[in-house]
Structure 1
Amino acid sequence: MFKLFISTAALIWVALASPLKETCTVTTYDGVSDAVSSCSSIVIRGITVPANKTLTLNLTTGATLTFEGTITFTHSNWKGPLVLVSGSNVTVTGASGSVLDGLGAQYWDGLGDNGVTKPKFFRIRTTGGSLFENINLLNCPVQCVSINRANNTVLNKWTIDVSAGDSAGGKNTDGFDVSSSSNIIVQNTEVKNQDDCVALNQGSNMLFKNLTCSGGHGLSLSVGQSSSNGSANTLTNVTFTDSIVLNSRNGIHVKTHTDAGTGSIDLITYKNIQLSGITHYAVNVQQDYKNGKSTKTPTSNIPITNLLLQNITGSMSGGSNSMPVYILCGSEGCSNWAWSTVSISNGTKSNSCNFTPSGFSC
């Protein structure tokens, strides 16, 4: 009689060598976990995510995932996120007509982060040449997309529509928040919301191209919110180009925080930005934020160097608070700025600058 002995190591190898299924279609939340771990191509169709649950999509390397129909998220007052996607060299797409609906109206109270607890919507932690395309987010409860600890990732053809919150109490509904990330591209995208269209906190090598932003606070940098020093508060080599900002509080907003140690902002370019209906500042640079608010007392703890503005044109709303350009720098906080063709009409207040960029007359 012969006996067959298979070692534990061999069993592990056989399990690891088992091929992934080619395509899995998921129509209930309970089926997501198995599909994500065992399939190379996943379709998530019309599911409802239970309360207090994240739609966790830890995709295998090279996997593809497609959203179909309407994905909804049961109301609950918690921090979220409602969706978390991670993986390397993954592709996430939305089929025609698909939407991820955050049911924001069930949360909005006009208080944003300071009201009832609201979940952040869509968090991205991908690497290795990942692509997100044709994603449609509707009615974010609070911040819409968080790109955090991501690298080498492209977002193309997104639609973020929180316009219903304009009259229903939407607040702090940032379009894209980016932190601790590098080599990021966001392009060919539309955002309608009540806060920053884009807000960058920390990272390097980013491109934002062909954006249309409406109803919010514009294309923003907000650096220095980390309690630690150095790289946690560093942002470098970022370009915004060929974009439109409409009916928003600010067009371009760069702010640093005085209460979170040191850091730096360097090599930032805004190019070919068209503005219309800006209510407060077309271009606003402030080094005076503390506890999330302007103090009118700027510091130089996070210097802003090599800020390039080229072909920034358009008009203010003509309202009583409209000022085309406002610059408030610390005594040694701003240097090597080059601006050309910064031309904004219809402001009711004159420009205010305590630092004057090369090529611009304040």
Structure 2
Amino acid sequence: MFKLFISTAALIWVALASPLKETCTVTSFDAVSTAVSSCSNIVIQGITVPANKTLALNLTAGTTLTFEGTITFAHSNWNGPLVQVSGSNVTVKGASGSVLDGLGAQYWDGLGDNGVTKPKFFRIKTTGGSLLENINLLNCPIQCVSINGASNTVLNKWTIDVSAGDSAGGKNTDGFDVSGSSDITVQNTEVKNQDDCVALNQGSNMIFKNLTCSGGHGLSLSVGQSSKNGSANTLTNVTFTDSIVLNSRNGIHVKTHTDAGTGSIDLVTYQNIQFSGITHYGINVQEDYKGGKSTGSPTSNIPITNLNLQNVTGSMSGGSNSMPVFILCGSTGCSSWTWSTVSIANGTKSNSCNFTPSGFSC
């Protein structure tokens, strides 16, 4: 009898401790926190998020959340983010036709970070095999997606459309900014914006594939801008593959910051990348940034090793500033680069390189 009682009590406790499994449909912002804490299948349907509020989705492990209709965010000049998603082994997806609208035109002033305060849009801190897919972001006020402190997460079939900002003052509207993250995949995604399509600051083990980038600054690495701590200035084992960059300032842009302490960039591969209509640099590698700007004086504090390019081809716009390849390395800042089938046509300026990768003639 005694053993049976203990066993039964344990079963009852497990049942009470398990997350609830019902589906909750949320139609107002005030109901979000209750649904997030009590439901494992959540539908957020056509809500408006109040000004100065984050749509905070700290999801229980195993939860599925679906956006339906248009989610809007009331205007306010604050830092955001407008959305933050966290949780382990969670699924966040957009139903067909769903849109998260950042109302960017109410913020754009042509000054980006230097103008009125604008909220970052969508922050991701998920772990443990999480999936975020079919998400449609419209008109980011400033940086669109921040992947920060995330791991083991896949982003699939995103659309980021800030193309209205081309003529309305959109600036610093990065598609994906990644820092402090590992084992990240972003795939089958389109970005139309006015800044980096992807900007990687720190992390490891990342794959970006089947991207189409238009109107921005290309597929970028920017290491050391925000930290003087060397441990925070490392980026390793990254692959960009099977992607297209159109009508953008740069195709590939790699920059390190001379005022950032120490760090490293290692094992980065760009393969099967196509360019078209690139206005300034097809491939641009510079180790001379300070205070966020190029100085012309490169250093070797953040060495770039094993930067490998395979089948990177396409064309410049033919404008007066167009240069296919520009490499400016510190005296010992660049080594062990292997490039093959790198061919970029229609540049007005000749290539300029103070370091020449193996397999490439500058």
Letter in 1 for 2:307: L
Q: Give 2:24's aligned residue.
A: 24
Looking at structure 2, the residues matched to 196 and 20 of structure 1 have their Cα atoms a distance apart, in angstroms, of 41
Separation in structure 2 between the aligned mates of residue 127 and residue 71 of structure 1, nearest angstrom? 24
Residue 308 of structure 1 pairs with residue 308 of structure 2: yes
- 2:304–2:334: 8 Å Cα contact kept in structure 1? yes
Distance 1:19 1:150, change over 3 A: closer
Partner residue in 2 for 1:161:
161
Cα distance between partner residues in 1 of 2:237 and 2:60: 30
**Distance in 2 between the 1:74 and 1:15 partners?**
40
Q: Which amino acid aligns with 2:144?
A: C
1: CA distance, partners of 2:282 / 2:258: 23
Partner secondary structure for residue 326 of structure 1: strand
Distance, in Å, in 2 between the alignment partners of 1:320 and 1:230 is: 38
- Cα RMSD, aligned residues only: 1.3
Report the counterpart of residue 224 of structure 1 in structure 2.
Answer: 224
The one-letter code sitting in structure 2 at the alignment partner of 1:94 is G
Counterpart code for 2:183: N
> Counterpart in 1 of 2:233?
233
Task: Show the counterpart of 1:7.
Answer: none
Shift of 1:104: 0.0
Q: Deviations over 1:185-227 (max 9, x none)?
A: 0000000000000000000000000000000000000001233
TM-superposed deviation, 1:17: 1.5
The match for 2:332 is 332
Unmatched runs of 5 consecutive residues or more in structure 1: 1-9
Does the 8 Å contact 2:99/2:137 carry over to 1?
A: yes
1:278 aligned partner = 278
- What per-residue deviation string (whole Å, max 9, x for no partner) do you get for residues 94-128 of structure 1? 00000000000000000000000000000000000
Q: Which residue of 2 aligns with 1:130?
A: 130
In the other structure, the counterpart of 1:357 is 357
Residue in 2 aligned with 1:37? 37
Q: Using the TM superposition, give the Cα deviation of residue 228 of structure 1 relative to its aligned residue in structure 2, in angstroms.
A: 3.1
Helix, strand or coil at the partner of 1:53: coil
Q: 1:15 to 1:226 in 2, by over 3 A?
A: farther
1:22 Cα shift?
A: 1.7
SS of the residue corresponding to residue 40 of structure 2 reads strand
- For the residue of structure 2 that corresponds to 1:359, the secondary structure is coil
Matched, 1:268 2:261: no
Structure-1 residue corresponding to 2:121: 121
Partners of 1:174 and 1:17 in 2: how far apart?
A: 42
| Residue matched to 1:96 | 96
Q: Is the 8 A contact 2:230 2:260 kept in 1?
A: no
Q: Which runs of 4+ in 1 moved over 4 A?
A: 13-16
- What code does the residue aligned with 1:40 have? S
Number of the residue aligned with 2:3: none
SS at match of 1:243: strand
User: Is the counterpart of residue 55 in structure 1 residue 55 in structure 2?
Assistant: yes
SS in 2 for 1:105: helix
Offset, 1:15: 9.6
Match of 2:71 in 1: 71
Work out the percentage of aligned pairs sharing the same amino acid. Answer: 89
Mean alpha-carbon deviation: is it higher for 223-232 or for 34-43? 223-232
Q: Distance in 2 between matches of 1:217 and 1:77?
A: 25
**C-alpha contact 2:328 2:353 (8 A) present in aligned 1:** yes
Deviation at 1:345, TM superposition (A): 0.4
Q: Any conservation in 1 of the 2:101–2:137 contact (CA below 8 Å)?
A: yes
Shift of 1:149: 0.1
Match of 1:6 in 2: none
Q: Distance in 1 between matches of 2:227 and 2:202?
A: 13
CA distance in 1, matches of 2:319, 2:19: 63
Correspondences of 1:249-268 after superposition (within 5 Å): 249-268=249-268
Amino acid at match of 1:287: E
Secondary structure in 2 matching 1:34: helix
Rounded Cα–Cα distance in structure 2 between residues aligned with 1:251 and 1:220: 8
Distance between the aligned counterparts of 1:15 and 1:116, measured in 2? Answer: 51
Q: Which residue of structure 1 lines up, in the alignment, with residue 5 of structure 2?
A: none
C-alpha distance in 1 between matches for 2:15 and 2:84 = 27
CA distance in 2, matches of 1:142, 1:36: 27
Q: Within 1, Cα distance between the matches of 2:320 and 2:228?
A: 39
8 Å CA contact 2:140, 2:162 repeated in 1: yes
Is 1:321 matched with 2:321?
A: yes
Name the CA distance, whole Å, in 1 between partners of 2:142 and 2:328.
29
- Distance in 2 (CA, whole Å) between partners of 1:263 and 1:294 is 18
Letter in 2 for 1:346: N
Give the match for residue 4 of structure 1.
none
Structure 2, unpaired ranges of 5+: 1-9
Partner of 1:198: 198
Are the counterparts in 1 of residues 19 and 40 from structure 2 also a CA contact under 8 Å?
no
What SS class does the counterpart of residue 253 from structure 1 fall into? strand
1:212 and 2:212 matched: yes
Letter of the 1:196 counterpart: D
Are residues 1:242 and 2:242 paired? yes
Which residue identity is paired with 2:45?
A: R
